[in-house]
A and B are shown apart, each in its own frame.
Chain A
Amino acid sequence: MDNIEKKQLSGKMITMIIIGIFVLAFLVFYSILSAMAPARKLAEIKAGIIGLQQSSESNKDDRYYSDSAFIKLTKEKAFLQARTSMAETDSVYMTLNIPDSTAKLGISGVEVHSAKISGMKISKILRSGNEYLISELFSSPMNIESDLATIKKEPLMIKMAPKDTSEFKPDIIPDTTDYEPVSYILEMDNGVRIFICQDADTITSDKNQLFFFDLSDRLKNTWSSLKSIARFKVPEYHPFIKIRLPKADAKILYRAIPRQGQIAVYI
């Protein structure tokens, strides 16, 4: 009796150990492929920019890319180029100036709103990657491909028309209380993701909602990474810019920028 129990127990143990080894091996494999993703993204950016430069017959020396004066001017030109391009349209656009800590809205070259960035976190490949490549990446405006938010872009209310005058009720004062926490993610066409979140002065229910919003985004990304890894492919890496703004400003920026709007970044 004891022997049978012992055998069952050792069988269970072996199964557990095998599962454990598989899980561990998968985690290691997942980590390695995920860690390779940023380098691959940087290589993609490099390939794209070099391709463009070759087609425009650039005669730049490699030494220029480690010259601070050259890089500073290149960055400045890239930002101006992107803003000028956006100003040629009549839509609302956004500019993020990281060294100045400002997020601005503009229409046709006129600055219509400015907000102070109170906190930021930037992807390492954007912050301390090859500066020349990054300035080239931002030399044209980025287009918003999709967005995910805790608030509605257009808070549309549906009202059924009364059948006759007896059903008519005059409009009541609208509820303008700010009860929703503001956090959103703008996914750009070049793979960059811009996270904008309200300042830290949040109540507990807001914190919970923001946590679940962040968690749902992480789950979505992890799921897409898992799908890539299951096919033995390096998962897609999205460089990010995370900024914190006062709640009112964060809301204004989100509601003002069109769904397929443009953004220029100066890092």
Chain B
Amino acid sequence: MEEDDKITSSPESGEVPKPDMPLPASSENVLKTSESFFQKVRENEKLLKLIRITLGSIVSIVIVLFIAIFVLYLVPALQEVISGQKTEFKVNPELKKDKNYLKQIALLTKDIQRLSKKYSSYTSGQSYIVINTTDNRFFLYKNKKLIREGFCSSGSYTMLKTESEKKWIFKTPKGKYWIQGKITSPVWRRPDWSFVEEGLPIPSENDPSRWEYGVLGDYAMSIGDGYLIHGTLYKRFLGMPVTHGCVRLNDEDLEAIYNTLSIGSKVYIF
């Protein structure tokens, strides 16, 4: 307060200082202090504005996030809370004596027996083989019991394309097949893609270069459409998808399967 009084009046001298008169040193200090104060306030205003904008942005982001979480997660959860009316099972002794009820139960039981019989008749009592192309494994069954399992190689899922847009897809077909032919000491007749794949010109249909001996193992079983279950020279690739669609096995497994399956035996590939 004393300092303020000094600026506005000078009680000691009784004179009011004129504007162009040089101020005393203490007044200059006060002016500087007040200027820096207002400067700080102005800076703080900028800071406040910045804080206000930041806070506004954060609040907006929180609101948008809340709406997103509400719509994406809470509403589906809400649907699950509200929906459903559980069946209340009641013990009704009268119903158990009802003729129509008993008839319905008998009908249902008969239907179940019929369907069960039909369904189990699909599983062959004969020998069959199951081939898993994802894991490249086989499972051999006899009299509905697993008798052998092991690794095999199936289709590589490669699409071979030529510049003339000719293409071949090397994959093992899935579904139910059956052994259509059994061959010992099979000879491989190289198809066109085998030459294309190696950059060789395609020979004529009966060209001797098409016949290759000893590459399919000791046995081969045909499952139709040119697909075979056969042996391989590339045993290190067993358990991997590397073939052109056929199923490759090692020598021992191939022999066991060849001896177990007969023409007409089912081959289930998945």
Contacts and interface: CB of A to CB of B under 8 A. Distances in A.
B97 interface: no
Interface residues of B, number: 73
B240 A176 contact: yes
A165 interface: yes
A7 interface: no
A222 B162 CA distance: 45
A156 B156 CA distance: 8
Give the interface SS of chain B, mostly helix, strand, loop or mixed.
Answer: mixed
Interface residues of A, number: 82
Interface string A241-256: 0000000100110011
A61 B70 contact: no
B157 A157 contact: yes
B109 interface: yes
B213 to A, nearest CB: 20
A132 B85 CA distance: 12
Contacts of A60: 104
A108 interface: yes
Given A64-B101, A107-B270, A38 B132 contact: no
Contacts of A76: 112
A204 interface: no
Contacts of B171: 154
Interface in B128-179: 128, 130, 132-135, 156-163, 169, 171, 174-176
A225 to B, nearest CB: 8
Interface string A194-215: 0000000000000000000001
A141 to B, nearest CB: 13
Given A66-B89, A77-B108, 20 more contacts: A34-B78, A38-B80, A68-B89, A77-B111, A83-B119, A84-B118, A109-B121, A109-B122, A110-B266, A112-B132, A113-B270, A129-B86, A130-B87, A157-B157, A160-B162, A161-B196, A162-B197, A251-B134, A252-B270, A256-B174
8 contacts: A31-B75, A35-B75, A70-B104, A81-B115, A107-B175, A110-B122, A154-B171, A222-B72
Interface of B: 63, 67, 70-73, 75-76, 78-90, 92, 95, 98, 100-101, 104-105, 108-109, 111-112, 115-116, 118-124, 128, 130, 132-135, 156-163, 169, 171, 174-176, 196-200, 236-237, 240-242, 266, 268, 270
